[in-house]
Amino acid sequence: MKLSREEVLHIARLARLGLTESEVDRFSEQLSHLLENFEVLQQVDTTDVPPTAQSIPLQNVTKDDEVAASLPPGQILANAPRKEGEYFRVKAVLE
């Protein structure tokens, strides 16, 4: 199991994570080493074993659709790095 530089860059792009050159090298080596060790999973016979997503039997938890108080916009926007009026300000999405 060896992750190439190209694969590391591909994963970083999927995760929208900028990496420096040295991080690409380091992660390529470290992730390869980890995945090599995690390959033991392939030895386990999981024929007819269903996957477990979480450990409690709850499913499809629903709530009544009731109007309730929510935080005022001013408080929601208080942590925004950039805002304009009652909006979050973002970079242009379409160029």
Of residues 88, 66, 68, the one with CA closest to residue 77: 88
8 A C-beta contact, residue 37 and residue 48: no
Least distance (Å) between residue 10 CB and other proteins = 8
> Among residues 55, 65, 67, 69, which is the contact residue for other proteins, using CB under 8 A?
55
Q: Which of 21, 52, 69, 85 binds other proteins (CB under 8 A)?
A: 52
Q: Contact with other proteins (CB under 8 A): which of 5, 25, 34, 84?
A: 34
Dist CA 19 CA 4 (whole Å): 15
Q: Which residues pair with 88 in a beta bridge?
A: 83
Helix, strand or coil, per DSSP, at residue 61: coil
Q: Which residues bind other proteins (CB under 8 A)?
A: 3, 7-8, 11-12, 14-20, 23, 27, 30-31, 33-35, 37-44, 46, 49-56, 58, 61, 63, 71, 75-76, 78-82, 88, 90-93
